[in-house]
Amino acid sequence: MNRLVHCIDCDKVYLRTPFDRLPEYEWGISSASAERQGIERDDFQEFLESHRGHRLEDLQIIKDSFVSDKPYAEPVKVSYFKATNGREQFVIKRFRERIDEPLAYELIRGDYSLKCTGLQMQLDAIQKQLEREMKPPLSSEQMTAFLELCQHVARRADVNKLESVAYESSHPLEVYYKMDDLSLMVLLRNCHRLFKGRTYEEIEGFIDRHKEDGVLLLKATYRIEIKERRQAKRLEAAAVSKAKKASQKN
């Protein structure tokens, strides 16, 4: 189990994983077990040493609160998750600046939210799919008109009223949504105006095939917004702690 330890006096956090108890082998130097033990390192011991006499508390990581600005497999990225001591909630920022650096953790007093920065139709994918499926093919004017119509639908849609779909996104801050009934109506009604006869029927079939889980899903892009709480409480706590230490010394 991962355990998150918080030094209240310094506001530093340490994430204790099952791994930091394992010895770190340096391959190539020597395989003699005595020497191996010599270079065994326990980062947690180091953390405890540098915060000796400080007030420490355990924080509980809040389940499913993990967000990141880049895909899971990307090694250099910033991630956030929420943690609590039972009274106060924190955001923990996890990052590394270079691939060969260890992960660092920073405690933020506050919360984060995800803000939608854009809602789009997947125009390239729609065009490719239309070229594959439409027989006879759409003229370039018809193609342009349909793509413009899709853009219009995306512009007027409200992301808060859409239903997200479990769609395999390659990016953690991209979410796919189904068109709502109103968007679908706008799309079909305008298609009826733009296309006639057989072409309209083909387009209607295309919309029907792709509206649930295909190229006609809307793609929303999100940004992680961190909101810090005012620091007054913390400064107060630090002052109390310093006063306590001073009185202990005397």
CB burial string 188-204: b at 16+ within 10 A, e below: bebbeebbeeebeebbe
6 touches Zn ion (CB under 5 A)? no
Candidates 48-56, 83-91, 111-119, 204-212: pick the segment binding Zn ion (CB under 5 A).
48-56
- Rounded to a whole number of angstroms, the minimum distance from the CB of residue 102 to Zn ion is 19
What burial class does residue 165 get, using C-beta atoms within 10 Å of its C-beta: 0-12 exposed, 13-18 middle, 19+ buried?
middle
7 touches Zn ion (CB under 5 A)? yes
9 touches Zn ion (CB under 5 A)? yes
Find out whether 7 and 54 touch, Cβ atoms under 8 Å: yes
From 3, 36, 54, 94, residue interacting with Zn ion (rule: CB under 5 A): 54
Nearer to Zn ion by Cβ, of 13 and 220: the residue is: 13
From 51, 93, 210, 219, residue interacting with Zn ion (rule: CB under 5 A): 51
- Rounded to a whole number of angstroms, the minimum distance from the CB of residue 55 to Zn ion is 8
Task: Name the residue type at position 164.
Answer: S
How far is residue 247 from each of residues 8, 241, 243, 250, measured CA to CA in Å?
19, 10, 6, 5
107 touches Zn ion (CB under 5 A)? no
Query: Which positions from 10 to 29 touch Zn ion by CB under 5 A, shown as an x/- string?
Result: x-------------------
- Rounded to a whole number of angstroms, the minimum distance from the CB of residue 125 to Zn ion is 52
Phi and psi at residue 134, to the nearest 5°: -80, 120
# of chain residues touching Zn ion (CB under 5 A): 5
Find out whether 100 and 86 touch, Cβ atoms under 8 Å: no
229 touches Zn ion (CB under 5 A)? no
Nearer to Zn ion by Cβ, of 76 and 239: the residue is: 239
Q: Minimal CA–CA distance to 13: which of 87, 92, 76? A: 92
Binding site for Zn ion (CB under 5 A): 7, 9-10, 51, 54
